[in-house]
Structure 1
Amino acid sequence: MDLNKNTYVFFFSTAMVLVVAALLSFTSIKLKPLQQKNIALENKQNILSSVGIYVSREEADLNYDKYITDSFVLDSDGQKTDIDISSIQLNKETKKPKKEQNMPLFISNINGSEKYIIPLRGTGLWGPIWGYISLDNDMNTVYGAVFDHKAETPGLGAEINRDFFEKPFNGKRIFDIEGDFVSIAVVKGGAKENDYHGVDGISGGTITSDGVTAMLKERLDKYLPYFENKMKENEVNDIMNFIEEDINLNDTINKLN
């Protein structure tokens, strides 16, 4: 009798486990498209926030194409590729050798001025940290920055997604006066006054702050080839525009004579 009872309990328990597993699997499959959509909307919201466009997650989809004029993937030499930007997963790219990494870049137009938006991915105290940083059209001055985390300590490292931490990045510069790349450091104890390359660290959140510093330097460094190529291109365009203006001026003078 006991044997039969134990057998019944065993088969009943097994059946229940299988049913619950099947239901969970079915629910996960059904919810996956919705989860992916929410992640995509959150990414768009954060991209827009990095250039000062603050909208709800639902509004992000409506405003995205209005402000984000271009997006593409760069190779390690700073050249555009044909890779679909939506296929890039930074958590996987950052684990590849430098020469094999692909870098997504978003271009925004704010009041007629281009902004370059760079996705970020790094490691905090307890897990991954991420965000977006936008550079002005000089590809040097920070226009805006947003950060977030998975499991940093509340009240300490978790504060990286607060305005008081993010806003001071605005106006900072990633190149020094010699034109060398120095990135931006999160400084324990506070950055010096008029320090264009440092922001105040979070009290009690040193390891997370160091993680942000490392993340910025590692990610921004990958985009230097593109910025160098773009700066040279801009210099050539400026020279050509100057020559064209000079020719037009001479033509006008000749007509007056």
Structure 2
Amino acid sequence: MATKKYKCKVCGYIHEGDKAPDVCPLCAAPSSDFEEIKPEKKGGMNRDSNAYTIIYASVMVLLVAVVLAFTSQSLRSFQKKNEDNDKRQQILRSINVSVPASEAETKYNELIKDAFLVNENGEKVEGDAFTATPEQHPVFVANVDGKTKYIMALSGAGLWGPLWGYLSVDDNKDTIFGTDFSHAGETPGLGAEISKPQFSNEFKGKKLFANGQFKSVAIVKPGKSVAGQDYVDGISGGTITSQGVDKMLFNSLNGYVKFLTSQNQ
């Protein structure tokens, strides 16, 4: 049977035997100052080494990354469905219809009778209106109580990030029927108020054209007015966000002018 090895913690003397010596022959340290030297397992790695720590950490990071990637991929279809339903809810709110997410797809399919893209000449072009980018001009045609409404997409910038929304007009393509605005991170209680019905309801009945010219709808400070076009009060304390909505309306709808002035869908 192989003998054991013991090391003196005081002077480093190595003793071989079945047990530690009573006294270290070099420094006279008692047996309590000896520790057994455990042999390393063949083919194994010293768990106290830096290499083991680095390899272990790397493997754990890799495993966590794989699990997160798998989870994300597995949930992607649910995320996409939620995103699509959120968009449907926004489009429906622009025609003054509010439904929970669970009913959004059914209500959308019931009310939205057509959807297409138009170019700046008001002509239909190929593409999917529902997945359109901010640079494109999607049009959604709704039937509300037997009357046609045209819904257009809006995109712009606020104080802290992107703004977007939808605006619907009556079949005369001039009078606003409804709006819905969203934001990425405007200040709660201030700029974020653009997403509330109190603000969007102000746009109902406003005109986009004056004397045959496109004017959009101006956003003004509460108590102020503007000549030559319809306007609504901005958000108190949310001046920059209100200005962002003003610019978003003008710039986004400007791309629809030819469509709005056309007699054809």
Q: TM-score, with normalisation over the residues of structure 1? A: 0.81
| Pairing 1:76–2:120 present | yes
Distance 1:229 1:147 in 2: 26
Q: Are the counterparts in 1 of residues 175 and 208 from structure 2 also a CA contact under 8 Å?
A: yes
| Residue in structure 2 matched with residue 197 of structure 1 by the alignment | 230
Secondary structure at 2:130 match in 1: helix
1:84-233 counterparts in 2 under 5 A?
84-90=128-134, 93=135, 102-176=136-210, 178-192=211-225, 197-230=230-263, 233=264
Change (3 A) 1:112 1:3: closer
Shift of 1:10: 0.6
Which whole-Å CA distance do the structure 1 matches of 2:205 and 2:54 have between them? 66
- What is the aligned-residue RMSD (CA, Å)? 2.1
Aligned residue among 45, 50, 55 for 2:89 = 45
What is the identity, as a one-letter code, of the residue corresponding to 1:159? E
1:65 aligns with 2:109: yes
Higher mean Cα deviation, 187-196 or 140-149?
Answer: 187-196
Match of 2:18 in 1: none
Deviations 1:104-148 (A, max 9, x none): 100111122111101111100000111111011111111001111
Corresponding residue of 1:11: 55
CA distance in 1, matches of 2:92, 2:227: 28
Structure 2 counterpart of 1:242? none
What amino acid does structure 2 have at the position aligned with 1:104? P
CA separation of 1:195 and 1:157: change in aligned 2, threshold 3 A: farther
Structure 2: segments with no counterpart, 5+ residues: 1-44
Contact 1:190 1:201 in 2 (8 A): no
Residues 71-94 of structure 1: CA deviation (Å, up to 9, x unaligned): 10112221112212233122xx2x
**Greater Rg over alpha carbons, structure:** 2
From 69, 72, 77, give the equivalent of 1:33. 77
Q: In the TM superposition, what are the counterparts of 1:234-249 in structure 2 within 5 Å?
A: none
Runs (5+) with no aligned partner, structure 1: 94-101, 235-257
Residues 183-223 of structure 1: CA distance to partner in whole angstroms, max 9, x if unpaired? 01111234549996111111111110000000000111101
User: Which one-letter code corresponds to 2:171 in the other structure?
Assistant: N
Q: Which residue of 1 aligns with 2:11?
A: none
Tell me the amino acid that sits aligned with residue 18 of structure 1.
Answer: L
Cα drift, residue 48 of structure 1: 1.0
In the aligned structure 2, how far is the partner of 1:191 from the partner of 1:162?
21
The structure in which a higher percent of residues are strand is 2
What TM-score do you get using the length of structure 2 for normalisation? Answer: 0.78
Aligned-residue sequence identity (percent) comes to 42
In 2, Cα distance between equivalents of 1:64 and 1:187 = 33
Counterpart CA distance in 2 for 1:194 and 1:38 is: 43
1:239 aligned partner:
none
Write 1 or 2 for the structure with the bigger share of helix: 1
Q: Which residue of the partner structure matches residue 250 of structure 1? A: none
Tell me: CA distance 1:195–1:165, structure 2 relative to 1, closer, same or farther (3 Å).
farther
